[in-house]
Amino acid sequence: MYTIVAGIDTDKERAVAQAETIADMPMDTDEVEAVLTHSFEENRSGASVAQVSSVQRAQSILEDAGIDVVLEEAGSDDPAATVLQFAEEYDADLVAVAGRKRSPTKKVVFGSVSQEIILNTHRPVLVCE
């Protein structure tokens, strides 16, 4: 089984880009499992990961491509740590993140979840745009 862990935020366009990139990879989808993770910084309504519309969209694309999907969530204000935690827990073969179009200055000033994941894992990371 080839396991891909993907951190999905609330942006549907980025979620679609991640799911489509994964679905388009040349692989036997019967042997692939995608673990979609979402980190709730503040969850006053008590929503679950299955209720996040961007996660639902990514899940639909992946399942339509024949890929098994597992949903995971965490209550954390550090989404990079959440993705890295699940990558370790599932012994992921690949971590998929959504890149944002930012200027070099903005990347330095505001940081980047994708950059933090890339710098803090020994696993291959796929940046989807």
- Taking Cα atoms as reference points, which of 59, 11, 10, 65 lies closest to residue 35? 59
Mean pLDDT of 24-29: 91
Mean pLDDT of 31-59: 86
Domain of residue 27 covers 2-128
The predicted-structure confidence for 100-114, as pLDDT tens digits, reads as follows: 665 565 554 445 888
Whole-number Å distance between alpha carbons of 82 and 42 = 14
Q: Which two tokens stand for residue 103?
A: 């200027």
Task: Assess whether pLDDT exceeds 80 at residue 80.
Answer: yes
Mean pLDDT of 83-89: 97
For the chain, the average pLDDT equals 88
Integer CA distances (angstroms), 23 to 76, 118, 128, in order: 28, 21, 12
Assign residue 14 the CATH number of its domain.
Answer: 3.40.50.620
- Taking Cα atoms as reference points, which of 7, 49, 4 lies closest to residue 22? 4
